[in-house]
Amino acid sequence: MTQPKGRPPALFPLFSDVDTLPGIGPKSRAALAQLGIERPRDLILTLPASGITRRRIARIADARPPEVVTVAVTVGRHHPPTVKGRPWRVHCGDGVGDLTLVFFHPRKEWIEAQLPTGARRVVSGKIELFDGLAQMVHPDHILREDEPALPEFEPVYPLAAGLTRKGMAKAAEAALTRLPHVREWIDPQLVAQRGWPDLATALRRAHDPQSMRDLSPDAPARARLAYDEFLAHQMTLALVRREKRRLKGRPSRGDGRLRRAVLDSLPWPPTGAQRRAVEEIAADMASDRRMNRLLQGDVGSGKTLVAMLAALVAVEAGGQAVMMAPTEILARQHARALEPLARAAGIRLAALTGRDKGDLRAQLLEDLAQGRIDILVGTHAVFQKDVHFHDLRLAIIDEQHRFGVAQRLELSAKGQVPPDMLIMTATPIPRSLALTQYGDLDISILDEKPPGRQPITTVMISDQRLDEVTARLRRVLDQGARAYWVCPLVDESENSDLTAAEARFQSLRAQFGETVRLVHGQMPPDQRDAAMADFAQGRAQLLVATTVIEVGVDVPQATIMVIERAESFGLAQLHQLRGRVGRGTGASTCLLMYHPPLNESGARRLTTLRDTEDGFRIAEVDLEMRGAGDVIGTAQSGLPRFRIADLEHQAGLMAVARQDARALLDRDPALESPRGQAIRMLMWLMSQDEAIRLISVG
């Protein structure tokens, strides 16, 4: 295996092919590859995931089945199967009690050699009761009495077909011998304060746990290794961040005139969180470094205004701003929401999506290039080749978790003088994940709702009470209320959602008449816009919808939301959906209609939602229930795959690692000090090769 330029020779043995280890042949090599293990380095970072405690008992009668035990027995008679498909049974005993060993399809020679009648053997495995008799199916170990005793605790590695536990443990042991001596890269104070062992000791202990306690994320060895992984990752993010900041931006300073005009036009003052976020953004934009900031806002926290004020900084400075949304619907919605604000500021705002074609589009592009448009809102169409700005100073990206670090870097490469970047996300994500995925960005958080909002009353109700729900709906609609009715996510295919939504629409229309509208993603855009507009302006009172209304829809007069088959939605999605109500000063209600019986996960999601409206709290529960990868999305999210660290349980360490990484780079930009050198070693060890290249530019 060729070693990349710059990798310290001391690490070569760890990065050679895994089959250079003794005892690893082509078969094991293939099996290990299934686990993503290709080099000895991968082996040392693949830790036991769980463990088995095997109690040693003196007599069979001492077992408390079902239980994994080790016990000495005398082998009795063999009972080979008389009927095909039946197991081979071997009777054993210890003079007092009996134990039957059960084997499916054993090789005759093997089993007779392993368990000769009359011999003494130590067997270890799970004892179960079968028809009141003790039996052990496929013992994990069969030993002679003179063989070394089995340890009471046995680590369990992740296994793939073709690998045995023993084989894994041996391979890991062999790989560990290739670990060179390395200088400590962790801050000595942190090491002392947490009582962490050095790398080699930590690895040895992590591979040789003595009890379940040693496997917990808090065990010093595992905590240290998790921190190492976080630190390497955060070093990379810190380097990427530095690299981006190095990209000179142009300072955009406004006189505040346009921002004031917008604020004066609003009936309410900005919240403290909005004010803070705008200040942070304006300060970034005023500096001569490029802004790379993430604006994270809970539902209904008022991100739109913040985005608009940011855009106005660019316009006040004589430039333009662009805002990009992930979908056509969202882009249109943003444009609609920003339009009145643009009017108040007396500036020109235009929307551009894939839908725009022909002369209109050509005219729009011309206006944009001439600087006659100040703010452009759209889908990714705004970044097409033929779209030229007169003077683009700010790009706002409403991303919904769609981009990873790599994509962000790519985007920022667009344009000659790359604009400041503001990334907005409407889904609160737990801090640990934010630091993982967005560690290269600075973060502003909107965690405060505009004043005057009343808590949303959230109720769980069985769909067997559908009639009560519609009766109640009739009463409130008669009083002039506006309501959403969200149809279930039947399965992955959009068509079946559609059928469900259409069927529900028909039945509600039969009951409530003309005031019901339907929106779904496959409607012609004009019809969809018309239905939305009818609802927003009060010409319709009940909007039946699929999840297209999940984000961005803002109709403050809507106060009721019914979510059908609520248990079929994820937590974050439910939170977003519910966020469509409770956006005005009226009291709002959300009915989570479920189809009984609820399973455990469904129940937990719905009760969590019922009990809190705090998106950040909900995000934590979501993370706990689903794990990091699922919360952020698939591999394309840019979320790194940690081998050891556990984001759910070691989130605190991530924050420490981020701080340490940034401080380290500030003090030692080229990583030349002894500790800097050690950090380089860590980064090589963790395969952060790309990032290492960014160091030298330091």
Ligand X SMILES: Nc1ncnc2c1ncn2[C@@H]1O[C@H](COP(=O)(O)OP(=O)(O)OP(=O)(O)O)[C@@H](O)[C@H]1O
Considering only CA atoms, which of 323, 19, 342 is closest in space to residue 167?
19
- Kindly state the smallest distance separating residue 313's Cβ from ligand X, in Å: 18
Among 48, 302, 326, 640, binds ligand X (CB under 6 A): 302
* Cα separation, 233 vs 11, whole angstroms: 19
Establish if 551 lies at the interface with ligand X (CB under 6 A).
yes
> Is residue 559 a contact point for ligand X (CB under 6 A)?
no
For ligand X, the closer CB: 334 or 520: 334
Q: What are phi and psi of 266, to 5 degrees?
A: -90, 145
Name which of 430 and 552 has its Cβ closer to ligand X: 552
8 A C-beta contact, residue 309 and residue 259: yes
Q: From the list 125, 155, 297, 582, which residue makes contact with ligand X (rule: CB under 6 A)?
A: 297
Site membership for ligand X, residue 300 (CB under 6 A):
yes
Nearer to ligand X, 430 or 615 (CB): 615
Q: Is 79 exposed, middle or buried (0-12, 13-18, 19+ CB in 10 A)?
A: middle
Using CB under 6 A as the binding rule, whether residue 448 contacts ligand X is answered as: no
Among the residue ranges 79-87, 130-138, 288-296, 550-558, the one whose residues contact ligand X (CB under 6 A): 550-558
Of the candidate spans 474-482, 546-554, 605-613, 627-635, the one that interacts with ligand X by CB under 6 A turns out to be 546-554
Residue 281: CB minimum distance to ligand X, A: 15
The reply on whether position 552 binds ligand X by CB under 6 A is yes
Helix (H, G, I), strand (E, B) or coil at 440: coil
Strand 120-130, strand 141-143: pairing: antiparallel
Confirm or reject binding of residue 418 to ligand X (CB under 6 A): no
Distance (Å, rounded) from C-alpha 269 to C-alpha 607?
Answer: 34
Residue pair 170/6 in contact by the 8 Å Cβ criterion = no
Q: Is there binding between residue 556 and ligand X (CB under 6 A)?
A: yes
In the list 305, 395, 456, 489, the residue contacting ligand X (rule: CB under 6 A) is 305
Site size toward ligand X (CB under 6 A) is: 20
Window of 91-99, 266-274, 358-366, 669-677 that interacts with ligand X by CB under 6 A: 266-274
Least CB distance to ligand X at residue 572 (A): 12
Give me the residue label for tokens 């070691």.
650
- Asked if 301 is part of the footprint of ligand X (rule: CB under 6 A), the reply reads yes
Among 241, 303, 520, 680, binds ligand X (CB under 6 A): 303
Alpha carbons 583 and 283: distance in angstroms, whole number: 30
Report in angstroms how near the CB of residue 615 gets to ligand X at its nearest.
9
Task: Kindly state whether residue 488 participates in binding ligand X, applying the rule CB under 6 A.
Answer: no
Binding residue for ligand X, selected from 46, 135, 234, 304, defined by CB under 6 A: 304
Is the distance from CB of 246 to CB of 189 less than 8 angstroms? no
Q: Which two tokens stand for residue 457?
A: 């009353």
DSSP structural state of residue 12:
G
Q: Which two tokens stand for residue 96?
A: 């007092």
CA distances from 571 to 75, 582, 630 (A): 56, 18, 12
Q: How far is the CB of 624 from ligand X (least distance, A)?
A: 23
Q: How many CB atoms lie within 10 A of CB 138?
A: 12
Using rule CB under 6 A, residue 456 touches ligand X? no
Question: Segment near ligand X (CB under 6 A), from 63-71, 296-304, 528-536, 591-599?
Answer: 296-304
Who contacts 422 (Cβ-Cβ below 8 Å, separation ≥6)? 281, 291, 293, 294, 295, 307, 310, 394, 395, 396, 397
- Determine, following the binding rule CB under 6 A, whether residue 579 of this chain makes contact with ligand X: yes
Q: Encoding tokens for residue 398? A: 């409403």
Shortest spacing between CB 479 and ligand X, in angstroms:
22
CB 422 within 8 A of CB 397: yes
Per CB under 6 A, 340 contacts ligand X: no
250 vs 336, beta carbon nearer ligand X: 336
Q: Which residues contact 141 (CB under 8 A, 6 or more apart)?
A: 70, 122, 123, 124, 125, 150
CA 221 to chain centre: 25
Q: Given CA atoms 523, 527, 531, 533 in this order, what sign does their dihedral have?
A: positive
Pick the binder of ligand X from 104, 110, 130, 268 (CB under 6 A). Answer: 268
- Using a 10 angstrom Cβ sphere, with 0-12 exposed, 13-18 middle and 19 or more buried, the burial of residue 624 is middle
Q: Indicate the residue among 304 and 589 with the shorter CB distance to ligand X.
A: 304
Query: What is the contact mask toward ligand X in residues 380 to 409, using x (rule: CB under 6 A)?
Result: ------------------------------
Stretch of residues binding ligand X (CB under 6 A), selected from 151-159, 191-199, 292-300, 687-695: 292-300
Question: Taking contact as CB under 6 A, which single stretch among the options 107-115, 169-177, 293-301, 468-476 is the one that binds ligand X?
Answer: 293-301
Q: Cis (ω within 30 of 0) for the bond into 597?
A: yes
Shortest distance, CB of residue 280 to ligand X, whole angstroms?
A: 16
Cβ at position 287, least distance to ligand X in Å: 26
Choose the binding region for ligand X from 300-308, 344-352, 603-611, 644-652 (rule: CB under 6 A).
300-308
By CB under 6 A, residue 583 contacts ligand X: yes
Query: Residue 574 CB, nearest distance to ligand X (Å)?
Result: 13
As a three-state string, the secondary structure of 284-349 is: HHHCCECCEEEEEECCCCCHHHHHHHHHHHHHHCCCEEEEECCCHHHHHHHHHHHHHHHHHHCCCE
List residues near ligand X by CB under 6 A. Answer: 268, 270-271, 274, 297, 299-305, 426, 450, 551-552, 554, 556, 579, 583
